[in-house]
Structure 1
């Protein structure tokens, strides 16, 4: 009986251990990948931040590859959980912060802020990104709600795609009126992990960590909602409170990722499906799995972008090449079965 009692935990523990090993390997590969070859021993010694940096290779590791790797970890965790949370709350397998206009809302409000106030601090940029992501999420939720205020998956997807197209058009129109805004827009339109400031992570790291923990706390409630809102209410779940909390967390996580790397499409759509395929649909396992799988996929895409061309292909382009076929596959199989 004792073995039978612990057997359900054996498989998730083994899978989590394997995912951690894969993620750690990709972190090392990311620190070694670049135009200049730097040995593992020199890379490791350069990461000793308490030692002074006196070589070009040390500068490359500390101020280029290390921030880039951290950006992949932080943005990947934020985008993955935002996508997983959105798919769970809406019970829509095609839900994604980029597909439903949340990233476009963050980009639009940020660009509007640049056009009116010029340059501003990182926290002001983050505040605008959060406001835009929250407003976009609210508009899509209201537009996509069916009778009785319940979220309709098909209407939600159509509302998100429409809002994203409108906001992207307005953003492009504003940028064409000001060359300086257009230079900033190039960053927001093509997301990249090329972050050069470690201080950003001291600001965003705790925010993403707290939002991630809050998302994991909702796992039992999300399990109940996945069985239907009526049954969830019967089981004592406060569906409205969970949906409101989830909406705020989606906006916060999406804003963090967008403020850090710019919009990166499809990663929040594909990675949760990979986690669900590996760990099952129980949110107690699949949400922590998403935290490990999404940064791994994002770092892998970035490594591919840095390796297959003499210069660099931005990570958002690689994720689009991966995510577009995945989206077609999901549409054919999910919508064909009534989603």
Structure 2
């Protein structure tokens, strides 16, 4: 697989001592704690740390308490979705040995969105479990289709071929979503808001449904981390070391699909988190997936929290910029930089 040539050389160099990795993980936890406080504080009505403490003790004024109650689930959802997307991206990059793998770029998020749109329009599906099941199924079908198409021809699944297959699939799915939703004026506005990607509509019941599914996907990915390290050496070498290559790739991909599908079902198709975060984390913590995966989850949560805060603070008080737009602004230039850095050539 030619993508391995571009993706693997840094693996031998990017190693970090355990103490350095531990410090980075602790820094990630501290950053999330800080951003969580800022996320609860910023909004149409600014809330101070004293207001937050007073609200938790039940002595705050009604307006501040209402703002805090609304922002806490939003903060929790941003943490969950950001972690899931970053973890899914890191896993997809390991499974495909492709430096530009990401749920959005490979069409996985679009497949989940199409499945949800079809379920809402044709089945009247509003149940959170049903939508999540459809999203995961749509994500799995899209991932299988894109990887199959990208593997055709000379060289197998190269980064460029996978990106082109994912882009074409995403465009086709977007057209199908529009065709499904345009006649449904009653659903169009709310679905368009969801399709941009955001965490503004967070609710505790929805989070309670989503969190266990994301936990299952994360556990599958973490359990496959040693196998991902073997895959980085190449299929032949991994098999020589006793790794069951097909099974490892299948199980890891299953975890990534669950994470991407569930995150899309609850927050919409948010792009580029799974692309940007794993690359940054490799620079800081190395390429050992036993460390890279948990650190990517922390960094993804931090990125989505920061993006949500930015979207709320730079827009007028009556509106806000959806987090999906902010991550796209950050991720698109990063995507171009990665492609140029890897010197990908069209076959």
- Distance in 2, matches of 1:195 and 1:297, equals 19
Partner in structure 1 of residue 342 of structure 2? 334
CA drift of 1:251 comes to 1.5
Contact preservation (8 Å) 1:47, 1:61: no
In the alignment, is the contact (CA less than 8 A) between 1:78 and 1:257 conserved in 2? yes
Say whether 1:21 aligns with 2:30. Answer: yes
Say whether the 8 Å CA contact 2:111–2:173 is kept in structure 1: yes
Find the counterpart in structure 2 of residue 302 from structure 1. 308
CA distance in 2, matches of 1:196, 1:102: 22
Determine whether 1:60 maps to 2:49. Answer: no
Q: Is the CA contact 2:220–2:252 (under 8 Å) kept in the aligned structure 1?
A: no
Equivalence for 1:4:
none
Secondary structure class of the residue paired with 2:17: helix
Partner of 2:141: 135
Does residue 42 of structure 1 match 2:51?
yes
Aligned residues: 329
Q: In the TM superposition, what is the alpha-carbon distance from 1:236 to its structure 2 partner?
A: 0.7
Shift of 1:148: 11
- Indicate whether 1:71 and 2:80 are aligned: no
Q: 1:52 to 1:259 in 2, by over 3 A?
A: farther
Write the distance in 2 (CA, Å) between the matches of 1:183 and 1:150. Answer: 41
Candidates 95, 103, 108, aligned match of 1:89: 95
Q: Which runs of 5+ in 1 are unaligned?
A: 1-6
Q: Is the 8 A contact 2:95 2:252 kept in 1?
A: yes
Mapped partners of 1:25, 1:232: distance in 2: 41
**Aligned mate of 1:240, from 238, 246, 261:** 246
TM-score by length of 1: 0.91
In structure 2, relative to structure 1, the CA distance for the partners of 1:166 and 1:52 (3 Å cut) is farther
Structure-2 residue corresponding to 1:3:
none
Q: How does 1:192-211 map to 2 (within 5 A)?
A: 192-211=198-217
1:19 CA drift (Å): 1.4
| Distance (whole Å) between structure 2 residues aligned to residue 202 and residue 178 of structure 1 | 29
Q: Distance in 1 between matches of 2:243 and 2:60?
A: 54
What secondary structure is seen at the aligned counterpart in 1 of 2:46?
Answer: coil
How far the C-alpha of 1:234 sits from its partner, in A, is 0.5
Rate the CA distance shift 1:283–1:230 in 2: closer, same or farther, 3 A.
same
Contact 2:196–2:268 under 8 Å retained in 1: yes
Counterpart position of 2:330 = 322
Provide the residue aligned with 1:122 in structure 2. Answer: 128
Helix, strand or coil: the match of 1:192? coil
Structure 2: segments with no counterpart, 5+ residues: 1-15
Name the structure 2 match of 1:32.
41
Distance in structure 2 (CA, Å) of the matches to 1:75 and 1:52: 32
Q: 1:324 to 1:194 in 2, by over 3 A?
A: same
2:293 counterpart of 1:284: no
CA distance in 2, matches of 1:263, 1:179: 21
CA distance in 1, matches of 2:282, 2:114: 32
Q: 1:84–1:287: 8 Å Cα contact kept in structure 2?
A: yes
Which whole-Å deviations, capped at 9, do the CAs of 1:13-40 have from their partners, x for residues lacking one?
A: 1111111111111111111111102221
Structure 1 residue 210, shift from structure 2 partner: 2.5
C-alpha separation in 2, matches of 1:307 and 1:81: 27
